[in-house]
Amino acid sequence: MKSGKQRREEIMQRRRERAAKFVNFDPHLRRPRVPLGVLEADRELLARHNNTCGCLPLYYVDREFTCRDCGSHEVWTAKQQKWWYEVALGNINSTAVRCRPCRRADQARSADARRVSEEGMRRKLLAQAGKAGTDR
């Protein structure tokens, strides 16, 4: 029969062995089972361009959202999310807010506004150049 001191030493030894396993343990690098119907995230691509203190996603799941402009219910698919975060390098905290037709309309409106602004700046520069030529 072992003494209490020997028994405590065995317990402490087992605790030290167990703790040694977790010295380099990173819970974010563990690979849980990926549910069916989702896409696994490429954590190396995400880590390169996202400067965030939060956890990066392990996988992408289809997300439902309501369009900000027309109010229709849409789904932001896992494939679209993967492209947005990993290829287009979108902010990891951003989500879809507009359906595709509303997004296209918003892009067209933005392009028209940019074109009008550039034309106005061009006219202004030409007018200033014309005045500078007549002031001499």
Look up residue 116 and give its amino acid. V
pTM over 0.75: no
Q: What share of the chain is helix, strand, coil (3-state, %, to 5)?
A: 50, 10, 40
Closest CA to 49 of 78, 85, 80: 85
Selection from 20-24, 48-52, 119-123, 130-134 with the highest mean pLDDT = 119-123
- pLDDT value of position 104: 96
With 0-12 / 13-18 / 19 or more C-beta atoms within 10 angstroms meaning exposed / middle / buried, residue 85 is buried
- Tell me the domain boundaries of the chain: 33-98, 99-136
Q: pLDDT tens digit string along 45-101?
A: 888 776 777 778 888 999 999 999 999 999 999 999 999 999 998 888 889 999 999
- pLDDT value of position 49: 74
Q: pLDDT tens digit string along 3-36?
A: 999 999 999 999 888 877 766 666 666 666 666 6
Neighbour tally for 17: CB within 10 Å: 9
